[in-house]
Amino acid sequence: MNQQSYFGTDKASTPERTLATAYTAPKPWSSARPHTLVVACSDGRLQENVDEFLANHLGTIHYDRMYIPGGPGALIGNGVEFARPEQLRKECTFLMEAHQIEQLILLFHGASDDGLEAACCADYKRKFPHHNPAQINAQQEADVPELLRLFSWPHGLRIHIYRAEVLPDGSVRFVDLQQS
Ligand SMILES: [Zn+2]
């Protein structure tokens, strides 16, 4: 009889078992570069909303991802951080050049002005711990011109800047920050 343990029988750890549990994706690898880069926050609470917005509103399904705490805001120091945004800008530049990015989607997130503080971006709260949702939103909007300056290259790069805002009722609204 096999020895039972919390992790199953001894047989479960044999190499044959490991191979048998490998998973092969139903779709093959896509060799085509999407030429679109989405820079967004790592916050998984919005993952499905972001996926749905990109697919259904922007028609963007295939894209490179730079998902980092703070999203596009992490590329700016706001006079609070220096080494981190510089390093992240280098990583972003690498992606832009290596993957021949032609379209950039910068996606902030947070609470609406009257929304729950818990929905705010943790990275912005780290940089501005005493800001309420409306003040964080104002800061993100103030960061837009600097991002536009940062991405004034390459010539012809298409840039879209949005914020995913969680409303008091829990719904998620995507606001175009270049139109506001
Ligand atoms: Zn965040």
Domain interval for residue 64: 32-176
| Tens digits of residue pLDDT in 34-66 | 999 999 999 999 999 999 999 999 999 999 999
Span from the CA of 43 to the centroid of ligand 1 (angstroms): 5
Enumerate residues with CB within 5 Å of ligand 1 (an ion): 41, 43, 121
| Predicted confidence (pLDDT) at residue 138 exceeds the cutoff of 80 | yes
Span from the CA of 12 to the centroid of ligand 1 (angstroms): 40
Span from the CA of 162 to the centroid of ligand 1 (angstroms): 13
Identify whether 24 is part of a domain: no
Residue 180 is predicted with a pLDDT of 61
Identify whether 5 is part of a domain: no
Identify whether 123 is part of a domain: yes
Indicate the pTM of the whole model.
0.87
> Residue 166: beta bridge partners?
111, 172
Residue 2 is predicted with a pLDDT of 46
| Predicted confidence (pLDDT) at residue 3 exceeds the cutoff of 70 | no
Mean pLDDT of 8-28: 71
- The proportion of the chain whose per-residue pLDDT surpasses 70, expressed as a percent, equals 89
CATH, residue 166: 3.40.1050
How many domains does one find in the chain? 1
Span from the CA of 86 to the centroid of ligand 1 (angstroms): 18
